[in-house]
Structure 1
Amino acid sequence: MYELEVEKMSCGHCINAVTKSVQAVDADAKVEINLAQRKVRVQTDAELAEISAAIVNAGYPVVSSAAV
């Protein structure tokens, strides 16, 4: 599982966009988003770099990321 700190998320649209970007990399990924803490937790078999790049490409800067 990975935890990423992602900026510019503020609403339901943001949650959908980030979730779709992650699931474009791994359709079976489980995504949990906490808007207040700007945290995205992803359970996936994909590489962290792929997940991070997908979120950035969707327009949401990834400030930090780590395997947890």
Structure 2
Amino acid sequence: MHSFTLPDMNCGHCVAAITEALKAVDAQARIDIDREARTAQVVSALPREALVAALIAAGYTPAPANTPI
């Protein structure tokens, strides 16, 4: 499982855009998003780098690991 902190995620539209971006690169991905905590947990066979690239392309750059929001 890949965990991401997404500081720029703050509304339902953001959640939808993030979900769409991740599903576009892996339709089989299981995605659990916590909007209040600004986190996403993704179960995918893809490498983390591919998921990060999809998030960045959608405008949601993940925070570096262990960085508070």
Alpha-carbon distance in 2 for matches of 1:64, 1:5: 8
C-alpha root-mean-square deviation of aligned residues, in Å? Answer: 1.0
User: What is the aligned length?
Assistant: 65
Unaligned runs of 5+ in 2: none
- Residue equivalent to 1:27: 27
- Residue equivalent to 1:8: 8
Larger radius of gyration: 2
SS in 2 for 1:32: strand
Unaligned runs of 5+ in 1: none
Runs of 4+ in 1 over 3 A off after TM superposition: none
**Structure 1-normalised TM-score?**
0.88
Identical columns (%): 32
| Structure with greater proportional strand content | 1
SS in 2 for 1:27: coil
Which of 1 and 2 has higher RCO (CA within 8 Å, sep 6+)? 1
